[in-house]
Amino acid sequence: EDEQIVAEIMRRRFFPDLITHKTWEGFHFAGHEIRITEATDCYGAVVWPSALVLCYFLETNSKQCNLVDKNVIEIGAGTGLVSIVASLLGAFVTATDLPELLGNLQHNVLQNTKGKCKHQPCVKELSWGIDLEKNFPRSSCHFDYIMAADVVYYHPFLDELLLTFDHLCKNDTVILWAMKFRLEKENQFVDRFQTLFDLEMISNFPSLNIALYKAMRKGRMKA
């Protein structure tokens, strides 16, 4: 079953027939052909398999996870694929990443959503752990969903990432997080994450070493 679903997920990706001056990959999600411009010299400008897993879940679980008119923020949006799919499914999306990635992110989001979405998504800078209250004040920022794909890997900002989850998450916010398991240091982040949030694995793909989680603040999952 794992291999069958993974094969279906990977079939959503396609490549241009002709080589062009601009590198891009294509994807089929939410009834649309999505073209993503990538840059292979930067981790944040490449579509990783975890993003495909999350997009597939959003599309195939649109009844249980109805995004229409929901307020969604994606952290570490990278190329913007997850934000684009969430937008095409009816959400009002804020796609965030580091300042040096915003140009490519903005290009992909506009190219794939303009005139196609109920709510036009916005792109905003978010450096984990920095100026969170200034840029995303708790009193006025409420997100129904926080989405993240492959934000946990070998980088020195895991403390800041956890702080960012904590700041953005209200009592009724749902976190959808796709994670590829790599080294023990990164895996320990899951234990630390669970000191603040209840965590439920909703999909597991051993052949990709990727798990998809749903999380809420402690004590809120069953409620």
Tell me the pLDDT tens digit for each residue of 98-135.
999 999 999 999 999 999 999 999 999 999 999 999 99
Contact 180, 202 (CB under 8 A): no
Sign of the C-alpha dihedral, residues 35, 39, 40, 45?
negative
pTM for this prediction: 0.93
According to the model, what pLDDT value does residue 134 have? 97
Tell me the pLDDT tens digit for each residue of 60-79.
999 899 999 999 999 999 99
Domain boundaries defined on the chain = 1-217
What percent of the chain is predicted at pLDDT more than 90? 78
Tell me the pLDDT tens digit for each residue of 23-45.
789 999 999 999 999 865 566 67
Contact 198, 215 (CB under 8 A): yes
The residue type found at 131 is D
| Domain 1-217 class in CATH | alpha beta
What lies within 8 Å, CB to CB, of 20 at 6+ separation is none
CA end-to-end span of the chain? 31
